[in-house]
Amino acid sequence: RDLRDPTCTSSKHSHIHRYLLDRSKLELLKVISRSTPVLSSTMATLLRQVASNTGFRALAPHTFRTTVCSSPFASVRRSFASDGDSRVIEVTDDKHVRSELASADGLVVIDFTAKWCGPCRKVAPHFDELSKEFQDVKFLKADIDNEELGITLRLHSVQAVPTFSFVKDEQLVSQLKGANVEGLKKAIAALTKQK
């Protein structure tokens, strides 16, 4: 019998069948990881699990980060970084978001973004500049690939990036989708009554 045949009932054959499937998934994910500029955290987790289950030491969980997050990723992280004067706060989880919203005195603008998103990288420096221009507004940046922000993403119904949410008194008052810098500036000015 073909060991890849799912109808194979022998426990030894079933074990080999699972191993071959896991090995196939691993090979597929390795190809995807080479062709994708940045792995999402979900894909990275899956790749770690498959590597762990199949016993491949080259991609074992303790070496995974070094193996996958090599030079191509460093350049993306650099392009995503803010300069020293930026007032943008990168939120790390849902609790962090709640804390920042609760401590805000006025308008909060949340930039829902992703490292792999070209328009997000294009608008990022303008978002930093707006954080300096509108000193009475709190600016947050949330990476949609961060699994710790799941509740926040659902509450804001984020379906595209970049998406900008405008929050007052912990309530969502408006949203803007797309890398529209002028529209973003006008929305902030209107919501803060600044000219």
Residue 11: pLDDT band with limits 50, 70, 90: very low
**Which uninterrupted H or E stretch holds 135?**
none
Beta-carbon contacts of residue 47 (< 8 Å; ≥ 6 apart): 26, 29, 30, 33, 39, 59, 64, 68
Average pLDDT estimate for 59-77: 33
Residue 193: pLDDT band with limits 50, 70, 90: confident
pLDDT given for residue 165 in this prediction: 98
17-21, 25-29, 65-69, 191-195: least confidently modelled range: 65-69
pLDDT at 167 over 70: yes
Distances (CA, A) of 21 to 2, 12, 50, 54: 13, 14, 10, 10
69-73, 109-113, 144-148, 161-165: least confidently modelled range: 69-73
Residue 166: pLDDT band with limits 50, 70, 90: very high
Percent of the chain with pLDDT over 70: 55
> Which DSSP letter does residue 173 get?
E
Top-confidence range, 11-20, 79-88, 166-175: 166-175
The answer to whether 173 and 167 are in contact (CB under 8 A) is yes
Nearest one of 33, 166, 65, 61 to 111, comparing CA atoms: 166
30-44, 50-64, 170-184: least confidently modelled range: 50-64
Can you list the pairs that 175-184 forms with residues at least 24 positions away whose Cβ atoms lie under 8 Å?
Answer: 178/119, 179/119, 179/120, 179/122, 179/123, 181/123, 181/126, 184/109, 184/123, 184/126, 184/127, 184/130
pLDDT given for residue 88 in this prediction: 96
Average pLDDT taken over every residue of the chain:
74
pLDDT at 97 over 50: yes
Handedness of CA 154, 111, 90, 98 (dihedral sign): negative
Residues classed as catalytic = 117, 120
Amino acid identity at 67: T
CA distance 188 to 193: 8
Buried b (16+ CB within 10 A) or exposed e, 16-34: ebeeeebeebbeebbeebe
Average pLDDT estimate for 139-148: 97
